[in-house]
Structure 1
């Protein structure tokens, strides 16, 4: 088994465990059993649990950012209006199922508030989301995209967390919220 394959399996197992059992459920034994690797291979690749959690969070964001970038590229030349972009955001958010691997980042963001070593990885995650939002907002012609992007990202993240916690979006439509923010930024 290649070293990168073992590393990837360990990271996938860690995300799955974080998403199903939370941070306290992450033990080397549980990871080894889930990933089908030896205990020693975990510490070979990740000397500390923080190293492992940081890599798992960063890996998730790299994959998620690529997925969203690919989606945005598919619509880049289609001349989307702000309304179309907001509706697309809603569709993407609602189409996501909350698998263990999609719940895990929320757990890791909260853990970053307690663990300064994990905080840097969380900051990198939000920076990647902000940069993607800036790219999309610039494509839509939204003025001062860099100033509004963090608010858009925070709104979508917060509404997704609300959906995760309550099982529904309630009256908080993501597209309406995004459109409201974008409209306000254009009028400003």
Structure 2
């Protein structure tokens, strides 16, 4: 664990450790002892800050989503203030995707979304995560002048998540993501035909 991570508040260190563990070994690898060791905290600190493993998984998922949403909202705001066209937005998405290494912290959310399919107690956190992504996608689509951005937001998020999962599984580049976003945005910008 880096010096900066060691000096973070205990609760944050635990969450960071959980995301790292999940990314390396899946949800099944999360144990209080392993968390304590990875976070550099006492075993009692883990149970003090998180009463159950469900609480720990939920907070870890929400933390990741909040950080990603903050990062992408900053990009969306930058695009709005500087002005960007559909091609530029798709290119930016590709650059962001290419710049997102699939380290343990970025693999962990996929694991947590799958776990939410098995554990209904995590579904509320997963739904909150996707709502945040949908809001962000709608903001970007609206900024691009795409009609009916709210309706297309979930489709856009699903497309991005699916292509990111494909990249994770195959090691492919972000080129497919750029092409798919261009196809979706250009299709959405075309007025309905009778």
Using the size of structure 2 for normalisation, the TM-score is 0.91
Q: Which runs of 4+ in 1 moved over 2 A?
A: none
Alpha-carbon distance in 2 for matches of 1:143, 1:75: 18
CA RMSD of aligned residues (A): 1.3
Deviation at 1:152, TM superposition (A): 0.6
Q: Where in structure 2 are the equivalents of 1:71-150 lying within 5 Å? A: 71-150=75-154
| Gaps in structure 2 of 5+ consecutive residues | 1-7
Structure 1 residues 8-30: Cα deviation after superposition (integer angstroms, max 9, x where no partner): 01000000000001111000000
| Partner SS for 1:151 | helix
Alpha-carbon distance in 1 for matches of 2:40, 2:136: 35
How many residues align structurally? 184
What residue number does 2:180 align with? 177
| Gaps in structure 1 of 5+ consecutive residues | none
Alpha-carbon distance in 2 for matches of 1:46, 1:77: 40
Structure 1 residues 64-85: Cα deviation after superposition (integer angstroms, max 9, x where no partner): 1001111222221222111111
Using the size of structure 1 for normalisation, the TM-score is 0.94
8 Å contact 1:10–1:31 — kept in the other structure? yes
Q: Which of 22-31 and 89-98 deviates more? A: 89-98
